[in-house]
Amino acid sequence: MRTISSKVVKKCITRPPPLLLSNTSLTSMASFNVPNQNPSSLIDDFTKFCCQRDLPRAMQALELMHTHRIWADCITYSELIKCCLARRAIEQGKRVHVHLFSNGHEPKAFLMNMLINMYVKFGLLKDARDLFDKMPERNVISWTTMISAYASAKLNDKALEFLVLMLREGVRPNMFTYSSVLRACDGLFNLRQLHCCIIKIGLDSDVFVRSALIDVYSRWGELENALRVFDEMMTGDLVVWNSIISGFAQNSEGDEALGLFKRMKRAGFLAKQPTLTSVLRACTGLALLELGRQVHVHVLKYDQDLILNNALLDMYCKCGSLEDANAVFVRMVEKDVISWSTMIAGLAQNGYSKEALKLFESMKVSGIRPSYITIVGVLFACSHAGLVEEGLYYFHSMKELFGIDPGREHYGCMIDLLGRAGRLREAVDLINEMECEPDAVTWRALLNACRVHQGVDVAIHAAKQILRLDPQDAGTYVLLSNIYANARRWNDAAEVRRAMDNRGIRKEPGCSWIEVNKQIHAFILGDKSHPQVSGINIRLNQLIHKLMGVGYVPDTNFVLQDLEGEQMQESLRYHSEKLALVFGLMSLPKGQTIRIRKNLRICGDCHLFAKLIAKMEQRIIIIRDPVRYHHFQDGFCSCGDFW
């Protein structure tokens, strides 16, 4: 006979008397299923199975113990609960719960906490809460488990409410509690209050709390505060580095994100998947293809990481290199809805709408269900290729085919689609029948649609709506004023200007970036600080002259076209993308693709200029604006002159 630990014996003797006993162990009994067990060996077996994580046998033993009204020690039960959790065995977990409560008094607090945590992890928040309410003495762990559960379920009010209740009961929160509750902050006010408490009780040096603070400050756009929390860190921690880098990357502050990444490497930290994902995102935002390629080399170490591959796909698409994107896509063993959506939207944004729709068909064949975002990409593809009927079909059947209700973004694509097709009336009807309130982005789609077919009245209405919803939108003021000027409504035009001045709103100057020899060169309208500016201007004038010889006429009709704004006619020729383009011609070897990114949408004249240069100089030119991509080759653009 095996020896039983004294702990186990002590637990047993408080229980009802055992039955008649044979000495056989459950292992040999399993096939006979005869419950005439010696309690000590039964508990022994149970303990053994639990430690071995042999859930079926452990449960079998548990049922026998239950019938015989025998209980084991707490440690063994905790092993069993862990085992249920690991196997996601919900029913078994519930049986353990029943068993633990069948012996007349409450299980120990730590077992109760484990059960609560188990229910939380199974997504059974209500069961967790019931158990929590039953506990006579809830400790910091019970509270934290519930708070963390509410925070993950995005029940932010509940999480914050529980923090208050907990304090009222006199239980002191620890770093676990704060790092959980921070994620439930639903406003800066809450965040600042929590941050105060955290500093006051000295928990701000905990790395978990620190990374949570950084995440939440970043989520609310308070990057200075995030950085302050980061810079107070003395010890150094990989996750905290990742938090701050992703904070900047997600707020479109790619430069800062990349700078921090360099600092991180200098500090001796090794970039893992989350780091690389954020760095890729920064490259995506800045259109840094070459840096992106270098990051790709490091990504190879995590060959089949889905999220990382998705980020890589997006980077290549947004940097205009669909060959690279496709190569990654084909090599991916696992593809999820994000992979497909990224690729579909990427093709569409680069002007390859037909390919995007073909890919959408393959996606359906592959059995991955399209999401809300997938359909945005599909409709975007239709609108940019003028595929009106296809677009209308997908729009009207998306609910039935994919179970997705059309949202703002879908309406935006459809307004764009109808507007381009000259069906402005229908676009207006559509905006009127939207179930959700149109936002500034929706109205901007309508305003943009007016550009193509000069719907002045609709444009004025749309612009007014945009300014009502987003009074800071400088571009719309300029555009509205230009529309009035063009309609000879001088007083209205002047009034828009005045409103703009009164509110202190200034138009962001046009800016273009180009990468040459691993250096980013920026060209800003009206800024002459680039060292080669005079050479560039001489070359630009030569080119314009040469083009005019073959029939190029600078397109000065940019009332509804030029989103770069209020430049005088002659400054058209100094639009930043022209300067960047000429600089590219001068500094990149013959035959190499010229890639330019700009902050505002390209104007009609620059678009024409790029097409002609592409032909005359035999270059592929890719210009990315905030919305889409223009691949110029041999006198044509992939956007088909719609953008």
Partner DNA sequence: ATAGGGTTAG
What is the footprint of DNA within residues 102-121 (CB under 7 A)? Answer: 109-110, 113-114, 117
- Region near DNA per CB under 7 A, out of 307-315, 507-515, 549-557, 568-576: 307-315
The closest of 263, 262, 271 to 297, measured between CA atoms, is 271
Interface with DNA in residues 354-373 (CB under 7 A): 371-373
Which helix (H) or strand (E) segment is 511 a member of?
strand 511-516
* DSSP assignment of 133-185: HH-SS--HHHHHHHHHHHHHTT-HHHHHHHHHHHHHTTPPP-HHHHHHHHTT-
Question: How many chain residues are in contact with DNA, going by CB under 7 A?
Answer: 78
Of 107, 254, 351, 412, which one interacts with DNA (CB under 7 A)?
A: 412
Residues numbered 153-192 forming contacts with DNA, rule: CB under 7 A: 174-177, 179-180, 183
- Residue 321 binds to DNA (criterion: CB under 7 A): no
Give me 324's structure tokens: 């690279």
Closer of 60 and 148 to DNA (Cβ): 148
Taking CB under 7 A as the criterion, the residue among 44, 45, 222, 409 binding DNA is 409
Residue 148 makes contact with DNA by CB under 7 A:
yes
C-alpha distances (whole Å) from 57 to each of 24, 42, 336, 594 are: 15, 11, 37, 67
Looking at the Cβ atoms of 412 and 565, the one nearer to DNA is 412
Among 59, 223, 291, 376, the residue binding DNA under the rule CB under 7 A is 376
Residues 391 and 379: beta-carbon distance below 8 Å: yes
Please, what is the minimum distance in Å from the beta carbon of residue 95 to DNA?
Answer: 19
For DNA, the closer CB: 473 or 566: 473
Instruction: Verify binding: residue 476, DNA, rule CB under 7 A.
Output: no
Q: Which of the ranges 2-10, 275-283, 614-622, 635-643 carries the binding residues for DNA, by CB under 7 A?
A: 275-283
State how far the Cα of 455 lies from the Cα of 434, in Å rounded to an integer.
Answer: 21
Provide, rounded to whole angstroms, the least separation between the CB of residue 377 and DNA. Answer: 5
99-107, 143-151, 323-331, 540-548 -> range binding DNA (CB under 7 A): 143-151
In angstroms, give the least distance from the CB of 557 to DNA. 26
Q: Does 638 bind DNA (CB under 7 A)?
A: no
Q: Which is nearer to DNA, 206 or 617 (CB)?
A: 206
Tell me the C-alpha distance between 33 and 604, whole Å.
Answer: 84
Radius of gyration of the chain (CA): 32
Structure-token pair, residue 77: 């039960």
Residue 336 lies near DNA (rule: CB under 7 A): yes
Least distance CB 612 / DNA (angstroms):
28
Distance CA 379, CA 381 (A): 5
* Residue 275 engages DNA in binding (rule: CB under 7 A): yes
Under rule CB under 7 A, residue 380 binds DNA: yes
Sheet strands side by side (includes 629-633)? 519-524, 511-516, 594-598, 621-624, 629-633, 636-637
- Least Å distance between CB 643 and DNA? 12
Read off the amino acid at residue 507: K
Sequence-distant (≥ 6) Cβ neighbours of residue 384 within 8 angstroms: 348, 349, 351, 353, 628, 639, 640, 642, 643
CB of 340 to DNA, least distance (A): 8
Applying the rule CB under 7 A, the residues between 203 and 262 that interact with DNA are 206-212, 215, 237-240, 242-243, 246, 249-250
Indicate which single residue of 93, 377, 419, 604 sits in contact with DNA (rule: CB under 7 A): 377
**Minimal distance in Å, beta carbon 284 to DNA?**
7
- Asked if residues 407 and 374 have their Cβ atoms less than 8 Å apart, the reply is no
- Tokens for 285? 């935002």
In the list 15, 66, 129, 272, the residue contacting DNA (rule: CB under 7 A) is: 272
H helices of 474-575, in order, are 474-486, 490-502, 533-549
Phi, psi of 514 (to 5 degrees): -145, 140
Closer residue to DNA (CB): 63 or 169: 169
> Where does this chain touch DNA (CB under 7 A) — which range of 22-30, 340-348, 544-552, 561-569?
340-348
In the window 62-91, what residues touch DNA (CB under 7 A)?
78
Please name the residue ranges forming H helices in 503-562.
533-549
Residue corresponding to tokens 């579909």: 344
- The tokens of 143 are what? 């509270």
